[in-house]
Amino acid sequence: MKILHTSDWHIGKQLHKYDLSEDLDLFFGWLIDYIESENIDVLLVSGDIFDQANPSQAAYKQYYDLLKTLIHLDCKIILTGGNHDSAAVLNAPAELLKAFDISVIGGATNEIDEMFIEVEKNNEKIVVAAIPFLKDRDIRKSVAGETYATKIEQIKSGLQSYFSDVNTHYKNNYSGEVFFVMGHLYVQGSEISESERDIQIGNQAGVEAYMFEGVPNYVALGHIHKPQVVSREHNIHYCGSPIPLSFSEKKDQKQINVITVENNKIAEVDIVLIPKNRNLVAFEGSLEEVRNKLNNYSETTTLMSLAEIIVTEETESLERRQAFEELINSQPEGNIEIVKSRLNFNSKIRGASDAFAVGTNVADVTPMQMFEKKLELQSGLENTEELKNAFRELLEELKL
């Protein structure tokens, strides 16, 4: 039996207002061809199906167009919700999708056994615990007046207890079967990128790999966009996002993981590289240096390259500001487009209006970054870390 692990599709994602639907269309086309040609039996998608809790109509269409194609393949599909997803949105068509052998677990169910799925194919059998992103209320009870540190420890303890219960249910009901656990969370030690939304208060509640107790044969994780293995036993995997979702991922080689089960055990885990259809590039230097780099850029891919430019000049002047604006508004010729830009001066008068570098679009700044800059501008404030933690909690509650 062959099982394909992918995650973090983020359908509807825009990179600094640039629509990435074409990138996903190319990935989905490649994925369908791969499932068909390699006779994949099970598709696991570990959360963040959509980029927003309330997807656009275009995002819905892209999702259902994909499912419509997948149902014609002899492949069991299991999808779980991530921290970007709305459990209600994913679960709404769940009963209908069951008829097409598609299992959707948008949010934690009342009973753990409702998230266990058995799959039998080619004289092999696996058991999948399809655990979605676990919200605060799923793993602990809040108490009025509790401290930030207490909340963090309770979240860690709650996650450990929850997955311990998952393992216990497996041992009591499926012992001896090949066991897959899906999850959408942050395991400490994994590398993150700037496109990942802080999970459970700034990732400080990340759990250790030993939380899984060595019971699952394979842990198929989502949430971290950089592919990586996070256990000494090499059984806990982030497959990563299928396309770059931020400029911090510009050098990442995207992949899917294909797990082969033979004779009631995992025979191998293959890393399959996803074809790269778009380049994300960054150019830094003086105005003249950046202009030359843009004009000399010649690498071509299926889709237009997207550029981040960071211009640093020695002394602030109106002429340099105007030249910078002309550069980013003119757009270079060829297969490249500027979508993110910033202008810095080594020598300038700082003021309240200079919280961010010239050219920084407010859409490119996270609420947390904005709040931290505000704190920097307020002299004499005490307990700034506590203020930051309180703000993180607000963002978590508002899903921002």
**pLDDT score of 362 more than 60:** no
**pLDDT digits 0-9 by tens, 237-286:** 999 999 999 999 999 999 999 999 999 999 999 999 999 999 999 999 99
Cα 308 from Cα 304, distance rounded (Å):
13
Handedness of CA 105, 107, 109, 112 (dihedral sign): positive
Q: Is 245 helix (H, G, I), strand (E, B) or coil?
A: coil
**pLDDT score of 121 more than 50:** yes
Cα–Cα nearest to 83, from 200, 175, 248: 200
Query: Mean pLDDT across the stretch 294-306?
Result: 93
Number of CB atoms found within 10 A of residue 238's CB: 28
Q: Which has more confidence, 378 or 241? A: 241
pLDDT of residue 202: 41
Spell 388-399 as b/e; 16+ CB within 10 A means b: bbebbeebbeee
**pLDDT digits 0-9 by tens, 168-189:** 999 999 999 999 999 999 887 6
pLDDT of residue 199: 45
Are the CB atoms for 162 and 137 separated by under 8 Å?
Answer: no
Q: What is the pTM of this model?
A: 0.84
Rg (CA), the chain: 23
User: Strand pairing partners for 45?
Assistant: 6, 79
> Can you say whether residue 84 is alpha, beta or left, with left for phi > 0 and alpha for psi between -120 and 50 degrees?
alpha
Side-chain-side CA neighbours of 319 within 13 Å: the count stands at: 2
